[in-house]
Amino acid sequence: MAYEIEYGDISYKGEHDPNEVFCEIKWCKVDLLCAMDRRGIELTDENIDKALKAVGYLHDRSIEEGWETMDILLSLEF
């Protein structure tokens, strides 16, 4: 997949290389069920369906938090 990054006077073009992935987060249904159980949420079909519909937000927040965390780590190193 091709990309182009422009930030101020900096421009960078390239191709995403799957071999360059350095961090990946994968959540499974069982992770969600464990989290629900820890919070005392009854594991009914209705509650599980409701929770699964809400996890789209988890994807968005994970990306946002990832950028913030990367920025913090870079500020500590440089």
**32-56 pLDDT per residue, tens:** 999 999 999 999 999 999 999 888 8
User: Does 35 reside within a domain?
Assistant: yes
User: Does 8 reside within a domain?
Assistant: no
Domain that holds residue 57: 22-77
Q: How far apart are CA 12 and CA 51, in angstroms?
A: 39
Q: 22-30 long-range contacts, Cβ below 8 Å, gap at least 24?
A: 23/66, 25/62, 27/55, 27/58
Q: Where are the alpha helices (DSSP H) in the chain?
A: 29-38, 45-54, 56-77
pLDDT tier, 1 (very low <50, low <70, confident <90, very high otherwise): low
User: Does 14 reside within a domain?
Assistant: no
- Does 10 have pLDDT greater than 80? no
User: Does 4 reside within a domain?
Assistant: no
Total domains present in the chain = 1
pLDDT tier, 14 (very low <50, low <70, confident <90, very high otherwise): confident
User: Does 5 reside within a domain?
Assistant: no
pLDDT tier, 26 (very low <50, low <70, confident <90, very high otherwise): confident
User: Does 11 reside within a domain?
Assistant: no
